[in-house]
Amino acid sequence: MSTVYDKYESVIGLEVHAQMKTNTKAFCRCSTDFHSSPNSNVCPICLGYPGTLPVLNQELVEFTIRMGLATNCSIREVSIFARKNYFYPDLTKGYQITQFDTPICFDGHLHIQTDGKEKRIGITRIHMEEDAGKSLHDFSDNDTLIDFNRCGVPLIEIVSEPDIRSSEEAYLYLSKIRQRLVYLGINDGNLEEGSMRCDANISVRLKGTEEFGTRTEVKNLNSFKNVSEAIEAEIKRQIDLIEDGGKVSYQTMTYNAKDKKTTATRSKEEAHDYRYFPEPDLVKVRVDKDWISKVENELPEFPEARRSRFINEYSISESDADELTLDKFFADKFESTIGFLLNKNERSYRSVANIFRVDIKRIMNEQKLSLDEIHLTDKVLAMLADSVSSGTISATASKEIFNHILKGKTEEEQISIFKKSEEDLSQVSDNSEIEIIVKKILAENPGEVERYKIGEKKLAGFFVGKIMQESKGKANPKIVNELLIKILEI
């Protein structure tokens, strides 16, 4: 059924702020450690005392070039910093050092996969800037406390072209950005903890029209879920407004996750005049070609390339490779587990892939754990995979053993649990033993045997299930199948 909403198309551009994992701040030598006690990582420079001089952190420039190259940007050989003037309790020095009309990276793009097609999302610019402090409202009913540790922590801002057309596309684009940042080792990709933040610019227009509508900007979205929901809510708000005869005006909005609504915080009339001017305390940033090619040569293998390599090198399916390379740590652990395999062959690679895709993913989902909170070592995972691929245990038994070894705290414990369970559950390949079970199950289900014999061949699956169950997953399924058919066809 078509609704008024179907008449419209949404246009979205994202601004992503990502904290850089440099050791020190953007313009001073203070630590960027997130866990330090409040106001301990501060100095006259990041507090903006008069007479101090900032000095640019070279690592920040290098990290930004990395992200620029990883998103197909051009790198500007000479760029400058600008001063953006405003006062806020968490920015008592009265200005933020940022880049304005000469961002260091520009004109890039990324591809996302939607409906099986590649879509190009343009990246207008990536620039460097410093973060502000943090207001803490939860310590007292009447006061707000300020922690200046975050003042001067380096950020990059990645601004997309208005090429995104739906909340799903925004989600895919943001996932790609996050994946790039994490693969590059320059950000930990954590929206919830604020090391990545996203503003969404949103407008709507009638389908078929060229001209963009007026945008609003939803600020500070701090989870993937909020990004999707806020975009949906804002699109709906704008369409409802237009359908009621109103007009969208440029506003800054916030999203309230409780009632799933966007509300205006300020309009363009009240907007700041930031009085940008070139930062007089810093020299121009010069990046020569040699530096750019050095960074380029050191870029890691990106998920798309890794995916193809996994398919070729480990003979795993495309969908397995997709799942395994989505997250860098996951892909890293998969490969380091393969390094511990005793038998390196296609079967064992696929066993490892199975353990990761099925068992590890299940525990992560069920218990809401991240990969590093599952303490299974590469070695014990490799032992499990070896045991499956060599036929010592069945795939069913493997699942059970996996659950057992999860209980081991240390590697030694995990290995000893593994060895014991392997002994208990090792596969029975002895024909005579399996034959006894097959005959028992057939004797217990005479009705089904009758139906099978008059043509209901799919009942074979029913018998196999019963036999495997009776053998506690230990019977070798291949032998079960062979014997079952042989006995039934007599």
Q: Does 26 bind Zn ion (CB under 5 A)?
A: no
How many residues touch Mg ion under the rule CB under 5 A: the total is 1
Q: Does 28 bind Zn ion (CB under 5 A)?
A: yes
Query: Which of 201, 228, 348, 396 forms a contact with ligand ADP (CB under 6 A)?
Result: 201
For 94, 97, 137, 286, the CA distances from 148, given in Å and listed in that order, are 13, 16, 14, 30
Q: Which is nearer to Mg ion, 95 or 463 (CB)?
A: 95
Which is nearest to 213 in space by CA: 221, 223, 205?
A: 205
Of 92-100, 135-143, 209-217, 223-231: span binding ligand ADP (CB under 6 A): 209-217
Query: Which of 48, 68, 162, 408 forms a contact with ligand ADP (CB under 6 A)?
Result: 162
Q: Supply the Cα-derived Rg of the chain in whole angstroms.
A: 29
- Count the residues in the chain: 490
Of 11-19, 138-146, 382-390, 436-444: span binding ligand ADP (CB under 6 A): 11-19
Least distance in angstroms from the C-beta of 197 to Zn ion: 22
Kindly state the tokens that stand for 391: 């036929």
Of 27-35, 222-230, 261-269, 438-446: span binding Zn ion (CB under 5 A): 27-35
Least distance in angstroms from the C-beta of 97 to Zn ion: 13
Q: Does 437 bind Zn ion (CB under 5 A)?
A: no
> Residue 42 burial (CB < 10 Å; 0-12/13-18/19+)?
buried
**What's the gap between Cα 263 and its chain centre?**
28
Of 6-14, 171-179, 388-396, 456-464: span binding ligand ADP (CB under 6 A): 6-14
Residue numbers 460-489 binding Zn ion by CB under 5 A: none
**Residues whose CB falls within 8 Å of the CB of residue 447, separated by 6 or more in sequence, listed in order:** none
Q: Does 30 bind Zn ion (CB under 5 A)?
A: yes
Q: What is the DSSP letter of 393?
A: S
Least distance in angstroms from the C-beta of 263 to Mg ion: 18
Q: Which is nearer to ligand ADP, 202 or 437 (CB)?
A: 202
Residue numbers 12-31 binding ligand ADP by CB under 6 A: 12-15
Q: Does 215 bind ligand ADP (CB under 6 A)?
A: yes
Q: Which is nearer to ligand ADP, 14 or 376 (CB)?
A: 14
Dihedral sign for Cα atoms in the order 338, 343, 345, 350 = negative
Q: What residue has token string 């099925």?
A: 358
Residues 309-335: b if buried by 16+ CB within 10 A, e if exposed: ebbeebebeeebbebbbebbebbebbb
Q: Which is nearer to ligand ADP, 159 or 316 (CB)?
A: 159
Residues 12-39: b if buried by 16+ CB within 10 A, e if exposed: bbbbbbbbbbbebbbbbebebebeeebe
Position of minimal CB gap to ligand ADP: 13
Q: Which is nearer to Zn ion, 154 or 162 (CB)?
A: 154
Which is nearest to 330 in space by CA: 319, 317, 342, 321?
A: 321
In this structure, the number of other CB atoms found within 10 A of the CB of residue 232 comes to 18
**Contact positions vs Zn ion (CB under 5 A):** 28, 30, 43, 45-46
**Contact positions vs ligand ADP (CB under 6 A):** 11-15, 159-162, 201-203, 212, 215, 217
